[in-house]
């Protein structure tokens, strides 16, 4: 199910009606929440007709004439095991009843997403230029988020969601449109991200949520994780594979030995580093238990050492978790040069390969001959430079070049990155 929230800032403008219709078509939305439509009740049916008969409308003229929600009734049954709430408020005082009403959501079981224009920021980094951020602005929203143990949904695209589009002087940018979710949502849809689309005709960015269940798939391909290299068994695993006798040429030997290493590292990853989040939580619980014991026996030196060890354990697993997260970044969405949002792996792959094909050119049946006279008139390598290009390559040079490659660089086709080879120089040189 695809849910989209947008503060359109007036739907009476035919241009904005066209923009919304195009957005519905391009993004294949199932649910659309429009904020600040500014459509009077007696004009509502006229506006509704411009979107066709496939949509079921919900409006709240009893409370506000500015919020409308559209549901495609042909697809409403898909992925409907969550609650969706759309919000919009104006002044700080107007937000107080909103926070009070939203607090009642804590008693609703199941996953829920609350998105829209909160017209409020959470911290000073949510605004650049404009008025200084004060505690008066942020405290009510922050208290609401903290009290209900909510979290902001992960997002991509523009960080700021509103711009005053000033023509004179610096423009003010704020993050006031967002999606917040509860823990049940994170357990089921933790992989879902909010994508901020371009501003278009409004001064607010539309936010789109492609809500789908995480697919189990056929298993993940091997990927070397840098944290594996710090395990005490790592070098033994690599050395054991490298000691095996493998027939064939040099490249075949290296490829076969790396394949053995992959098999062993997969098992170690599952056994030692599987469910890292659970290990972090277990380490935190262990520390809490020790600190509780210290409260009852404040002079127990053994407990003090255990506390120090527990803190080190937490730091270790948190560092492992962060390392895995950093290496797990994938391109799951991509904007084309004309602003089209690509979300499927096939479309993203075609866009990237198409870009490089256009950049590098295409195949031809024949090439024009090289004009030797033109080449001779141009710059040429000196004799020393020519000799350096054909000089033997020494292991020390390979080591030096390898050390200059950042350990966070993407792996090669064998799924091993530079960090693996840096850590195994002694083994793999044999």
Predicted TM-score (pTM) of the model is 0.56
**Which residues on neighbouring strands pair with residue 127, listed in sequence order?**
174
pLDDT category at 23 given cuts 50, 70, 90 is confident
Please report which helix (H) or strand (E) contains residue 32, including its range.
strand 31-35
b/e code 127-140 from CB counts within 10 Å (16+ = b):
beeeeebeeebbeb
pLDDT category at 144 given cuts 50, 70, 90 is confident
pLDDT category at 216 given cuts 50, 70, 90 is low
Q: What number is the average pLDDT over the span 158-176?
A: 91
**Which residues on neighbouring strands pair with residue 32, listed in sequence order?**
4, 70
b/e code 46-72 from CB counts within 10 Å (16+ = b):
ebbeeeeeebeeebeeeeebbbbbbbb
Q: What number is the average pLDDT over the span 31-41?
A: 86
Strand-strand pairing, 2-7 and 31-35:
parallel
Residue 18 in this model has a pLDDT that exceeds 80: yes
Is the separation of the CB atoms in 121 and 141 below 8 Å?
Answer: yes
* DSSP state string for 19-31: HHHHHHHHHT-SE
Least confident segment among 21-30, 62-71, 175-184, 315-324: 62-71
Residue 206 in this model has a pLDDT that exceeds 90: yes
User: CA–CA separation, 203 vs 92, rounded Å?
Assistant: 20
Q: What number is the average pLDDT over the span 191-220?
A: 81
Q: For residue range 75-133, what is the model confidence (pLDDT) as tens digits? A: 544 445 667 777 666 666 777 887 888 888 777 778 888 888 888 898 888 999 988 88
Residue 217 in this model has a pLDDT that exceeds 70: no
pLDDT category at 175 given cuts 50, 70, 90 is very high
How do the domains of the chain map onto residue ranges?
A: 2-210
Q: In what order do the strands lie in the sheet with 207-210?
A: 55-59, 67-72, 31-35, 2-7, 207-210, 194-196, 155-157
3-class DSSP state of 308: helix
* DSSP state string for 315-329: HHHHHHHHHHHHHT-
Cα 317 versus chain centre, distance? 21
Q: For residue range 347-401, what is the model confidence (pLDDT) as tens digits? A: 888 999 888 888 887 777 777 777 888 888 888 888 899 999 999 988 888 888 8
Q: For residue range 231-285, what is the model confidence (pLDDT) as tens digits? A: 999 999 999 999 888 888 888 888 889 999 999 999 999 888 888 888 988 999 9
Q: What number is the average pLDDT over the span 293-315?
A: 92
Residue in the structure block whose two tokens are 């994780």: 225
Mean pLDDT of the chain: 84
pLDDT of residue 55: 81
Q: What number is the average pLDDT over the span 327-338?
A: 78
pLDDT of residue 321: 86
pLDDT of residue 64: 61
b/e code 277-292 from CB counts within 10 Å (16+ = b):
eebbeebeebbeebee
Residue 312 in this model has a pLDDT that exceeds 90: yes
Neighbours of 80 (CB within 10 A): 13
Both structure tokens of 10 = 């007036």
CA-based end-to-end distance of the chain: 54
Higher pLDDT pick, 143 / 331: 143
**Which residues on neighbouring strands pair with residue 84, listed in sequence order?**
113
Most confident of 21-25, 28-32, 103-107, 171-175: 171-175
Residue in the structure block whose two tokens are 């053995």: 260
CATH number of 2-210: 3.60.10.10
pLDDT category at 191 given cuts 50, 70, 90 is confident
pLDDT of residue 81: 66
DSSP assigned state of 77: T
CA-based torsion, 299, 302, 307, 312: positive or negative? positive
pLDDT of residue 72: 55
Neighbours of 105 (CB within 10 A): 14
């Amino acid at each position: 199910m695809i849910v989209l929230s947008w503060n359109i800032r007036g739907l009476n403008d035919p241009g904005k009606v066209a923009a919304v219709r195009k957005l519905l078509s391009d993004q294949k939305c199932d649910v659309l929440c429009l904020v600040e439509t500014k459509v009077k009740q007696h004009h509502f049916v006229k506006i509704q007709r411009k979107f066709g008969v496939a949509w079921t409308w919900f409006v709240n003229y009893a409370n506000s004439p500015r919020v409308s929600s559209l549901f495609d009734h042909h697809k409403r049954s898909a992925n409907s095991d969550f609650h969706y709430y759309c919000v919009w408020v104006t002044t700080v005082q107007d937000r107080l009843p909103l926070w009070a009403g939203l607090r009642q959501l804590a008693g609703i079981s199941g996953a829920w997403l609350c998105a829209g224009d909160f017209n409020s920021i959470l911290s000073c980094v949510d605004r650049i230029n404009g008025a200084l951020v004060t505690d008066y602005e942020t405290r009510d929203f922050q208290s609401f988020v903290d009290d209900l143990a909510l979290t902001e949904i992960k997002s991509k695209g523009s960080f700021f969601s509103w711009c005053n589009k000033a023509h004179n002087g610096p423009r003010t940018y704020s993050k006031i449109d967002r999606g917040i979710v509860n823990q049940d949502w994170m357990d089921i849809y933790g992989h879902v991200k909010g994508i901020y689309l371009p501003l278009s005709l409004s001064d607010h960015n539309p936010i789109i949520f492609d809500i789908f269940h995480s697919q189990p798939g056929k298993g993940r391909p091997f990927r070397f994780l840098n944290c594996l290299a710090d395990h005490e068994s790592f070098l033994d695993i690599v050395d054991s594979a490298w000691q095996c006798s493998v027939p064939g040429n040099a490249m075949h030997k290296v490829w076969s030995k790396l394949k053995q290493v992959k098999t062993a590292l997969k098992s170690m990853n599952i056994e030692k580093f599987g469910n890292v989040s659970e290990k972090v939580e277990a380490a935190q619980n262990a520390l809490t238990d020790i600190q509780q014991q210290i409260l009852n026996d404040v002079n127990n030196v053994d407990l003090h050492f255990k506390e120090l060890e527990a803190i080190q354990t937490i730091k270790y697993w948190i560092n492992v978790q962060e390392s895995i997260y950093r290496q797990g970044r994938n391109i799951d969405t991509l904007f084309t040069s004309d602003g089209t949002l690509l979300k499927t792996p096939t479309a993203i792959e075609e866009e990237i390969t198409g870009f490089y094909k256009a950049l590098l050119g295409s195949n031809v049946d024949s090439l024009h001959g090289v004009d030797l006279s033109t080449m001779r008139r141009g710059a040429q390598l000196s004799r020393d430079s020519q000799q350096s290009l054909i000089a033997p390559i020494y292991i020390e040079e390979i080591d030096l070049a390898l050390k200059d490659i950042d350990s966070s660089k993407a792996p090669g086709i064998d799924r091993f990155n530079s960090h693996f080879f840096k850590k195994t120089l002694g083994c793999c040189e044999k």
